[in-house]
Amino acid sequence: MKKILSDLSHEELSSLMEVWGERSFRADQIFTGLMQGKRISELPLPAALRERLLQEYEDAPVTIAETFCSQEDGTKKFLFRLSDGNLIEGVLMKYKYGNTQCVSTQVGCRMGCKFCASTLNGLVRNLSAGEILGQILCVNRAEGGTLKERAVTNVVLMGSGEPLDNLDNVLGFLRRVSEEGGIAISPRNISLSTCGLVPGMRRLTEEGIPLNLTVSLHATDDRERARIMPVANRYRIEEILEECARYFKRTGRRYIFEYCLISGENSDPAHAERLIALLKGRPCHVNLIRLNAVEERTLQTAREREAQRFLEILRRGGISATLRRSMGSDIGGACGQLRASYEKGEFH
């Protein structure tokens, strides 16, 4: 695999052009073109420079292999092809306030959560900063967006992969995606979701990037959590909560807990009461979602009524909470489901 040009910041592109003896406005042209979602071969450059770039860098590190459009709610699901042939997926959800794209940070995942399709075959490899960014640039272009009128306004790092298991590249991505003159999405419009890798959370706090820190909690005590999330054997809920508090102190940003309702596992009224006890008084919000049942997994989704009751108990207990609408369920909306079925040949 060749190198990836969008791994470089505008400044790094400028240095590269200087080293190559090119005039400095070439870096601006390349930066703008890449941010518009163009491949190297489409950039308006002299042929010799384009050829030189193409010898060292991938022409198009991320391309859209397939697009699926939900008939239910306009949600679009994308299957991306990387230059080494690996596939990753992403979703674009349309809301009143803008469009949110869900991006992947790794091919596969090694966290082993029992309800998740992304981790079924383990981790294949990390994505580079430019590959994470590339997913957004392609979709913005495909949806008719420009750098002034963006078709993608918000980002969630909730596709396949554990962002804090690929932290250097994710930090590089966060710098790249908010760069001025580029797609310029501010950290405030970005949510980073983690299964709770405490050392990575600590680094995020140290960096002080004011994004929406989201933790996949899914249980109210460590033992129950470990049944569905192996990571709970490494880090305790208490440590996670402490780190969230530090993040809040540093950034002033309220944090979010994802809680996926699984029947017979974590969705009884008693669980809701325990969740209240755990989170009461903290500057946080709880996002409930009913499990998207995965074919290869035996866990059962909670019923709508069960979910509504859980939500009411939390709210009565003074916890800010919402029940997320499941979007695009007709197109395999949940994590890793599209790639899994694609690789099984269901779409061929």
116 binds ligand SAH (CB under 6 A): yes
* C-beta contacts of 189-192 below 8 A and 24+ residues apart: 189/98, 189/153, 189/154, 189/155, 190/154, 190/155, 190/156, 190/157, 191/154, 191/155, 191/156, 191/157, 191/158, 191/256, 192/157, 192/163, 192/164
8 touches ligand SAH by CB under 6 A: no
Residues constituting the chain: 348
Residue 200 CB, shortest distance to ligand SAH, in Å, is 11
CA–CA gap between residue 65 and residue 89 (Å, rounded): 10
Neighbouring CB atoms inside 10 A of 208's CB total 11
Binder of ligand SAH out of 291, 311, 323, 327 (CB under 6 A): 291
58 lines the binding site for ligand SAH (CB under 6 A): no
Pattern 207-236, ligand SAH, x by CB under 6 A: ---------x--------------------
Indicate the residue among 27 and 331 with the shorter CB distance to ligand SAH: 331
89: contact with ligand SAH by CB under 6 A: no
Amino acid letter for position 285:
H
Burial of 37 (0-12, 13-18, 19+ CB in 10 A): buried
Q: Does 170 bind ligand SAH (CB under 6 A)?
A: no
Candidates 43-51, 82-90, 122-130, 191-199 — which segment interacts with ligand SAH by CB under 6 A?
191-199
Q: Which is nearer to ligand SAH, 30 or 158 (CB)?
A: 158
261 binds ligand SAH (CB under 6 A): no
- Considering the complex, what minimum distance in angstroms separates the CB of residue 306 from ligand SAH? 15
User: Hey, is 213 helix, strand or coil?
Assistant: strand
Q: Which of 13, 43, 7 is nearest to 28 (CA)?
A: 13
Contact 5, 20 (CB under 8 A): no
Stretch of residues binding ligand SAH (CB under 6 A), selected from 61-69, 142-150, 240-248, 285-293 = 285-293
State yes or no: is 162 an active-site residue.
Answer: no
Based on the residue annotation, tell me whether 138 is a catalytic residue of this protein.
no
Beta bridge partners of 68: 77
Positions in the binding site for ligand SAH (CB under 6 A) = 113, 115-116, 158, 162, 193-195, 216, 258, 260, 289, 291-292, 294, 334-335
Active site residues: 89, 335
